[in-house]
Amino acid sequence: MKFICLTLLLVSGITDSRSEQYEVVGPADPLFAVSGEEVTLPCSVKPSISVVDMRVEWFRPDLKDSPLVHLYEDHEDRNTDQIQSYRGRTKLIHQELQRGNASLKLSTVRVSDEGHYMCLIQSKFLYDDATVDVRVEAVGRPPVITVDGFDRSGGLHLQCESEGWYPEPDLEWLDSEGVSLSSETNETHRNSDRFSVKHTIIVYHSGKIHCRVKLRHHMLETLIISSNNRFNSWRMSVMISVIVVLVVIAGILIAVFALRNRAHKQLQDEHRKIQHAHDQLQDEKSRIQHDFSLERDQLLQSQKIIVTQAVPHLRKHMVKVTLDADTAHPHLIVSHHGKQVRDGKKELNGVDGKKYMFDEYLGVLGKDGFSSGSFYYEVKVKDQTQWDLGVARESSNRKGVFSLSPDVGYWTVRRFNESYWARDSSPVSLSLRVEPQRIGVFVDYEEGLVSFYDVKSMSHIYSYTDQSFNEKLYPFVCLGQWGNENSTPLIICDDY
């Protein structure tokens, strides 16, 4: 009897084992992910049987210590021993387990996430696994072209630079016909887990010059237009200088000849003629040099407002900003949804005396702060003639009168009547082509960057670079100091 029972148990076990035969499958090709976005690592069983009662383990075989990425066991996630850098970023869709789908969602992808992942699914009697090869790409900042002046041969020196890429991107120069141009110098630097590239070129002709940065599935481009007048002015100034030298030499020879062969009076007459011609040429030379310097300065200034694809790229980092009425100056009226603010011209009951509000500047902060990554928001400033915009440190002073500069925890640009300023440690006057109607504010926390853009003309206004952030940054808007006679509100824009 015992023998019969044992035989039945063995047969039953073998039957159960055969009934749950399965194969774990993953993607055959590498999986590409973009830094800062979400990616799903595919893993499923064939045939599509339920894995709800099985053990699902995701781990990194290329890491020696604590390689666990995500563990599902006994109908729940068990991530006590999970790698620290993956905490809060992994997720299994439990409803999908019923259909044999054990794919892993990984949010806020980082460059360090690149590598091989193993998906292991284990039942009572069997186990199988599949490998997923994850490749990470980080899209850097739009390239910026700057002008380094002319050389002695009349060539225009251009430099193109872009940073924040992974893996190392390709940078190339193209003329107006799309033909590749050879770079004079190439530089590549790696800072932490990102690459920056910088190439220079010398241009001897006019027209459109493109700088393009490419990375597998991504491409950003900037262009500059050089004019014939700049090159011709330089060549003309050289020709005039040569003519002046030749005239001076001719004058000396004529003077010597006159001393030997003519009377003193004839010598004086010739000298006066030569001097007159020399003065005319000097005047012409000075005029041409002045025109050349003016055009060169205009060219250099134009680089500050090169139209790029920056704004559409930065809008990927747009966050929803809600103004915090508890931080607002008593004169300000903040709309109930926290998207508009204007000067109410008088103190409002129930607001005065709050600990964290502004009492001199007509300022207000956003409710949410940011201490990592990148974020971007836009403010409509159309028809308002006095404002300050940017970001503020959480611990920055809000009482009394002070300079809204990085020294005290503010990174802002300002409009006061008809002038615009960047409120750096030493204020910087800004020359804008058009009156901005909508300002974009972009922050890269780790890179220490705060940039401002005119959204309508898609042009760069000003950037604070190489800053050091060690606490939360909050969106900051301000309608000036003490009072603002213009009743037009500043409006936080969530649409584009």
pLDDT digits (tens, 9 = 90+) for 43-95: 999 999 999 999 999 999 988 777 999 999 999 999 999 999 999 999 999 99
CB 391 within 8 A of CB 450: yes
Rounded distance, CA 461 to CA 434, Å? 11
Tell me how far CA of residue 104 lies from CA of 87, 305, 392, 427, in angstroms: 14, 44, 37, 50
Give the type of residue at 133: D
The label of the residue with tokens 């000067």 reads 343
Q: Residue 302: what pLDDT?
A: 45
For residue 118, the cross-strand partners are: 59, 131
Which segments in the chain show pLDDT lower than 50?
1-18, 228, 230-232, 234, 236, 238, 240, 292, 296-297, 299-308, 349-352
Write the Ramachandran bin of 264: left for phi over 0, alpha for psi from -120 to 50, otherwise beta.
Answer: alpha
Rounded distance, CA 105 to CA 132, Å? 13
Q: Residue 402: what pLDDT?
A: 87
Record: fold of 144-226: Immunoglobulin-like (2.60.40)
Class of the CATH domain delimited by 18-137: mainly beta
Tell me how far CA of residue 233 lies from CA of 151, 247, 327, 388, 392, in angstroms: 13, 21, 56, 41, 47
User: Residues of 96-123 as b/e, b for ≥16 C-beta within 10 angstroms?
Assistant: ebeebbbbbebeebbeebbeebbbbbbb
Domain 310-493 superfamily per CATH: SPRY domain (2.60.120.920)
Tokens for 456?
């309508």
Q: pTM of the predicted model, to two decimals?
A: 0.46
